[in-house]
Amino acid sequence: MSEKIPSSLKPGEEEWIEFPCVFPLKVMGDNDGSYPEFVLEVAKRHIRGVDESCVKTKESRTGKYISVTVTFMAHNRQQLDAVYYELNCCERTRMTL
C-alpha cells in the first residue's frame, strides 16, 4: 500500500516551476554532526544522481543549527513533494525553505 504524499499546491493553483529545472532544496536542523548526512540519505531515496558534491552546509551564528542545501535536477512536483514530506516528518528537521 503506498502512502499518498500531500502536495504543497492547492486545487486550482498553477505550477510555478517549469520542470525539469535545477532546484536548491534547503532545510535546517540541529547541528548534531550527522544532519547533513541524514539529509543526503533522504535526498538519495527520491533523487537520482545526488551525492556529496551536491550538498552545501552553513552553521548558524551560534552553531546550534545547520542549514543544508542540496542542489539537483528536479523532474516533477511529485518528486519535490516526496522529499520535502519525508524531511518534514522527521523531528531532526527544524525548517524547510
Q: How many domains does the chain have?
A: 1
pLDDT at 6 over 80: no
DSSP string, the chain: -PPPPPPSSPTTPPP-SPSSEEEEEEEEEE-SS-HHHHHHHHHHHHSTT--GGGEEEEE-TTSSEEEEEEEEEE--HHHHHHHHHHHHTSTTEEEE-
C-alpha cell at 65: 543549527
State which residues form the domain around 59: 21-96
> Do the domain assignments include residue 36?
yes
Domain assignment present for residue 48? The answer is: yes
pLDDT at 2: 45
- 3 pLDDT band, cuts 50/70/90, is low
In a domain? residue 9: no
Task: Give residue 1's pLDDT.
Answer: 43
CATH of the domain at 28: 3.30.70.260
- pTM assigned to the model: 0.84
Query: What is the tens place of the pLDDT at every residue in 56-67?
Result: 999 999 999 999
